[in-house]
Amino acid sequence: MKERVIGGFFVFLLTLIMLLPGGMISAIVLGVISIRGMYEFCRVYKLEKSVLAYISYIATSIFYIMLYYNQTQFLFPFVLLFLMILLSVYVFTFPKFKDKDIAAVFFGFMYVTVLLSYVFRVRSLTMGIFLAFFILISSWGNDVFAYFVGSAIGKHKFSPKVSPKKSVEGFFGGIAGAALVGYLYALIISRFVSGSELNALYCAVIAALGAIPSVIGDLAASAIKRNNEIKDYGKLIPGHGGILDRFDSVIFTAPIIYYLVVLFQLI
């Protein structure tokens, strides 16, 4: 329990540093988190010290630099270039790497770097300092409500082969809880922050819809661990595991929140 408390404080502090400052500091912190996440992901496939992994670390750094300078029109071409470089290494070092190694590193880049970068995109929006917390409400808020509802009344297994403890009741309880917190959060921000008028109903819907992929993100990370017979992605955070163990739901939620905020015209 002591380790989990210490780890929880570390995650809380890291999250504040990631979200509150904005600009360059948020970009750097998220870039470092993404590089660490890539390291953990590559380690699953025993590639963390390979040239493929180092290319992905460099590519992650460049990706965040482009985001910071708002060069979004070059992001897709850059991802294509990244894939071509990986394939070039595959060809010129053949047969050192297998095709599945290239697939794993490229998938890891899309899964960790690209999806997690949406946290920075949300933070960069108008009122981003407030909107970014919807990512946490939909992911970690959902986790809390799902746990308590599932513990209290959970009887039907949601995904028994991936996560036996998750229940259907907890799934819907987490969504409802996220919606409630999103609604109350919008009311508080609109009441006490000058110039911010968030539509509480829209915010509740956004938080609820964002909670759905957070569950999938959590289960996807668990499925990868089960496929590769590992308990945790790392030991960076005491009592919690690695970056991917703690941010697995955030990775899936961030892009959804970004596009929902744009769709509902909250900015």
Task: Please compute, for residue 241, the number of CA atoms within 13 A of its CA located in the half-sphere on the CB side.
Answer: 16
- Cα distance between residue 99 and residue 52, in whole Å: 12
pLDDT score at 4: 65
pLDDT score at 165: 83
pLDDT score at 40: 96
pLDDT score at 160: 84
3-state secondary structure of 128: helix
- Cα distance between residue 127 and residue 133, in whole Å: 11
Q: What's at 106, amino acid-wise?
A: F
Cα separations in angstroms, 232 against 107, 169, 238, 245: 19, 26, 11, 7
Say if strands 163-167 and 157-159 run parallel, antiparallel, or are unpaired.
Answer: antiparallel
Block means of pLDDT (10 residues each) for the chain, length 267 residues? Answer: 68 84 93 96 96 98 97 96 98 96 97 96 92 91 90 88 88 95 93 81 94 92 91 80 89 94 76
pTM for this one?
0.91
Q: What's at 37, amino acid-wise?
A: G
Joined together, the tokens standing for residue 35 give 């590089």
